[in-house]
C-alpha cells in the first residue's frame, strides 16, 4: 500500500470514528430539558443518570450547543439545593462535560462553582457531608479547574487555605500497618488547631481507603490549581509549601513503599502529586525568604532519588523539582571526613557522590530504552547533571569517569555514536531531533572541561560542530592541547592509533581505494575545478550557502567559492596537526 493510500485510510478512519461518536452519544433533547425543569426528584435523578451513563466514556461534547448549556446551567442552579442525591448526579454530569474545554464556561457560573466548592467542603458555607456527592465534587473540581478560567477565578484564598489544611491533616493521619491492614484514626488523634475550618471535615468517619482517596484527589486539585495560577504559586511559596514537604517527609519514613511495588500504589501516587505541586511552586516563583524550605525540598528530593529501585515516576518528578531550585548543588555532594564515610555511600575526592551516581544511572536507564518520546523527558536529568558538574569539580571528575572514560584503541574502531556504552548513547542523544540534544552536548562539553580538542576527540567533529558553532568557538580547534595530570584522557593503546583517527568522524575508518589512484595531475586538477564550478553554480542558484569560520569563531557565509580556500595555502603548524583532537 502506497503512502497516499495510508493517508486516505487514516482520514477515513477518523471520519468513521467521529460519525460513530455522534451516533452512539445520546444527545440532550428538548424533552430532557423540560423534564429536568419540572419533574420530581426521582425522575430528574433517573433521567440525569441515564445521560451520565451515555456520556461517561467520551471526552468531547461539541454536540451540546451553547444554548443547551445555558439552559442546563439555569436548571442546575435552581435544583442544586434540593437534595444530596440531586447534587451527586449534577456533579457527575459537570465532571464528565468538564473533560472538554470547548464552551465549558457556558455550563458554569460563579454561584455554581461555589456550590461545587461547598460540597467539597472548601468553602465557609458547606452542605451537609455526603460521601458520594463529596467524591463527585472532588473529581469535578479537578476537571473544571483544569479547563475553566471561571472556575480558577473562583478558587479563592478561603478554598486554597482549606485545601492546604485538609492535605496537612490527612498527611499527618497515622495509619499503622497490622496484618496488612491499617487502623482507622479519629480526629482526636491528630494535632490540629481548634480554629481550623478543617474540623468540619469528618475524618473520624472515614476508613483508610477513603482517607487515601481524598488525599489523592486533594493533591491533584492542588496540582491543577497551582499549575495555572501565578498568584497561588507565590502564596504557596511563602506560606503553603511546608504542607507538601510534610507529605514527602512522611513518605520517606517508609522508603520501601516508594519502590516499584503495586501494593503501595496509593502511597507512591500521593508522593508523586506532592512533588508535582512543589515543581509548580518553585518553577514559576521565587523569594529569598524561602531558601530554608527550598533547601529542605532539595534534600528530600535527593533522598527520594537515591532510594534503590525507586518508582520511575517518583524519580522523574524529584529530578524535575531539583532542576528548578536556584540553589547551590554543593548541598547534594557534601564533603565528608574519613570518619563520616559509610559503606553504602559512593565517595570520590572526599565528597559523597551517591546523588550524582543515582541521577546518572537514572538517565542511563532511560537512554537504554532508545525512545524518542522518552528522550523529551530527559531535559531535567541533563540540567541537574550540568549544574552539578559546573558547580562541583569533584562531581565533574566522577561523572567524567563514568560518561567519557579514557579512550582505548577499541573505542575508536567504530563511530562515536555506535555502541552500547554511555558515551555512545549520549552522542546519539546529541544527534537526535529532540529538545534535549543541546543539553546532551553541553553536558559532555562540560565534562571535557570545555576543551574544544578534547570534545572533538570524544565526539568527532561532525557531532561536535553544532555546539562549537553555537558558542562561536570553532576557531579554537587548532589551539594547543593542555595536558592535565589529574584528568589524563588517553591510554597507551589509544596513543598508538591516535594518528589513524579521522577527527571529523571520530574513529578509524576502514582503508578504502583512493579515488585519485591512477589519475594524472592534470586529471586531478580538472576534477577539482569541476567540483568548484558545481559548488559555485549551486551558490548562484541559492540552493546552498557555504560558510567558513570567521575571526570571532562564528560561521560566516562566503560570496565566492574561492573564499573557502583563501587562508589554506600556508603550511599548517605540525603541533596543531598532532594535537588537533586534544586530550
Convert the pLDDT of each residue in 344-389 to its tens digit.
Answer: 788 999 999 999 999 999 999 999 987 766 778 899 999 999 999 9
Residues 6-12 have a mean pLDDT of: 62
Tell me the CA distances in angstroms from 450 to 480, 507, 582, one per residue in order.
Answer: 14, 21, 11
Reported in sequence order, the residue ranges of 241-385 that DSSP labels E, i.e. its strands, are 347-348, 351-352
Residues 474-478 have a mean pLDDT of: 70
Burial class (CB in 10 A: 0-12, 13-18, 19+), 451: buried
Lowest mean pLDDT among 8-12, 114-118, 247-251, 410-414: 8-12
Residues 38-63 have a mean pLDDT of: 92
Q: Residue 216 pLDDT > 90, yes or no?
A: yes
Question: Which value, in Å, is the radius of gyration of the alpha carbons in the chain?
Answer: 32
Residues 89-115 have a mean pLDDT of: 96
Pairing status of strand 351-352 against strand 347-348: antiparallel
First-last CA distance in the chain: 52
Lowest mean pLDDT among 21-30, 106-115, 148-157, 162-171: 21-30
- Taking alpha carbons only, the member of 173, 192, 171 closest to residue 183 is 173
* pLDDT for position 338: 59
Burial class (CB in 10 A: 0-12, 13-18, 19+), 408: middle
How far apart (Å, rounded) are the C-alpha atoms in residues 394 and 209? Answer: 47
Lowest mean pLDDT among 197-211, 359-373, 455-469, 566-580: 566-580
Q: Residue 536 pLDDT > 80, yes or no?
A: yes
- The pTM of this model reads 0.83
How far apart (Å, rounded) are the C-alpha atoms in residues 391 and 508? Answer: 35
* pLDDT for position 326: 93
> Helix 452-459 crosses helix 461-471 at what angle (to 10 degrees)?
150
* pLDDT for position 168: 93
Q: Which of 30-39, 43-52, 543-552 has the highest mean pLDDT?
A: 43-52
What does the chain come to in residues?
583
Amino acid at each position: 500500500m502506497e503512502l497516499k493510500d495510508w493517508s486516505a485510510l487514516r482520514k477515513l478512519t477518523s471520519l468513521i470514528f467521529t460519525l460513530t461518536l455522534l451516533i452512539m452519544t445520546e444527545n440532550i433533547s428538548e424533552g430532557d430539558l423540560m423534564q429536568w425543569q419540572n419533574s420530581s426528584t426521582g425522575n430528574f435523578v433517573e433521567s440525569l443518570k441515564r445521560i451520565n451513563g451515555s456520556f461517561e466514556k467520551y471526552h468531547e461534547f461539541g454536540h451540546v450547543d451553547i444554548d443547551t448549556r445555558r439552559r442546563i446551567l439555569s436548571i442546575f442552579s435552581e435544583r442544586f439545593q434540593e437534595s444530596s442525591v440531586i447534587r451527586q448526579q449534577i456533579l457527575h454530569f459537570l465532571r464528565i462535560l468538564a473533560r472538554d474545554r470547548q464552551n465549558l464556561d457556558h455550563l458554569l457560573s460563579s454561584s455554581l462553582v461555589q456550590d461545587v466548592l461547598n460540597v467539597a467542603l472548601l468553602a465557609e458555607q458547606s452542605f451537609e457531608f455526603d460521601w458520594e456527592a463529596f467524591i463527585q465534587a472532588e473529581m469535578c473540581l479537578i476537571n473544571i479547574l483544569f479547563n475553566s478560567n471561571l472556575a480558577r477565578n473562583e478558587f479563592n484564598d478561603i478554598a486554597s487555605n482549606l485545601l492546604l489544611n485538609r492535605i496537612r491533616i490527612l498527611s499527618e493521619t497515622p495509619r499503622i500497618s497490622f496484618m496488612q491492614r491499617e487502623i482507622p484514626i479519629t480526629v482526636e488523634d491528630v494535632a490540629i488547631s481548634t480554629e481550623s475550618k478543617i474540623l468540619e471535615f469528618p475524618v473520624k468517619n472515614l476508613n483508610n481507603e477513603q482517607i487515601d482517596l481524598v488525599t489523592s484527589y486533594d493533591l491533584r486539585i492542588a496540582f491543577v490549581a497551582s499549575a495555572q495560577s501565578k498568584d497561588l504559586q507565590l502564596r504557596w511559596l511563602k506560606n503553603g509549601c511546608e504542607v507538601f514537604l510534610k507529605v514527602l517527609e512522611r513518605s520517606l519514613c517508609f522508603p520501601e513503599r516508594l519502590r516499584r511495588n503495586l501494593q503501595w500504589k496509593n502511597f507512591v501516587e500521593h508522593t508523586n502529586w506532592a512533588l508535582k505541586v512543589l515543581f509548580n511552586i518553585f518553577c514559576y516563583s521565587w523569594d529569598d525568604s524561602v531558601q530554608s524550605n527550598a533547601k529542605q525540598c532539595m534534600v528530600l528530593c535527593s533522598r527520594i532519588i537515591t532510594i534503590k529501585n525507586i518508582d520511575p515516576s517518583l524519580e522523574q518528578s524529584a529530578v524535575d523539582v531539583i532542576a528548578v531550585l536556584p540553589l547551590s548543588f554543593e548541598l547534594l555532594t557534601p564533603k565528608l571526613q574519613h570518619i563520616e564515610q559509610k559503606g553504602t555511600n559512593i565517595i570520590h575526592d572526599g565528597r559523597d557522590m551517591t546523588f550524582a551516581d543515582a541521577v546518572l544511572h537514572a538517565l542511563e536507564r532511560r537512554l537504554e530504552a532508545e525512545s524518542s518520546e522518552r528522550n523529551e523527558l530527559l531535559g531535567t536529568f541533563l540540567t541537574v547533571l550540568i549544574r552539578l558538574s559546573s558547580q562541583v569539580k569533584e562531581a565533574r571528575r566522577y561523572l567524567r569517569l563514568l560518561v567519557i572514560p579514557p579512550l582505548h584503541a577499541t573505542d575508536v574502531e567504530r563511530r562515536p555514536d555506535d555502541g552500547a556504552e554511555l558515551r555512545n548513547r549520549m552522542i546519539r542523544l546529541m544527534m537526535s531531533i529532540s529538545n534535549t540534544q543541546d543539553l546532551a552536548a553541553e553536558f559532555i562539553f562540560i565534562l571535557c572541561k570545555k576543551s574544544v580538542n578534547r570534545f572533538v576527540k570524544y565526539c568527532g567533529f561532525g557531532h561536535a560542530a553544532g555546539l562549537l558553532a553555537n558558542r562561536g568557538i570553532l576557531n579554537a580547534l587548532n589551539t594547543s592541547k593542555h595536558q592535565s595530570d589529574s584528568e589524563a584522557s588517553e591510554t597507551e593503546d589509544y596513543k598508538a592509533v591516535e594518528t589513524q583517527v579521522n577527527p571529523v568522524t571520530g574513529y578509524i575508518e576502514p582503508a578504502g581505494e583512493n579515488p585519485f589512484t591512477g589519475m594524472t595531475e592534470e586529471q586531478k586538477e580538472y576534477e577539482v575545478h569541476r567540483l568548484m564550478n558545481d559548488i559555485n553554480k549551486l551558490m548562484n542558484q541559492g540552493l546552498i550557502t557555504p560558510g567558513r569560520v570567521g575571526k570571532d569563531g562564528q560561521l560566516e557565509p562566503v560570496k565566492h567559492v574561492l573564499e573557502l580556500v583563501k587562508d589554506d595555502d600556508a603550511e599548517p603548524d605540525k603541533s596543531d596537526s598532532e594535537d588537533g583532537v586534544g586530550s
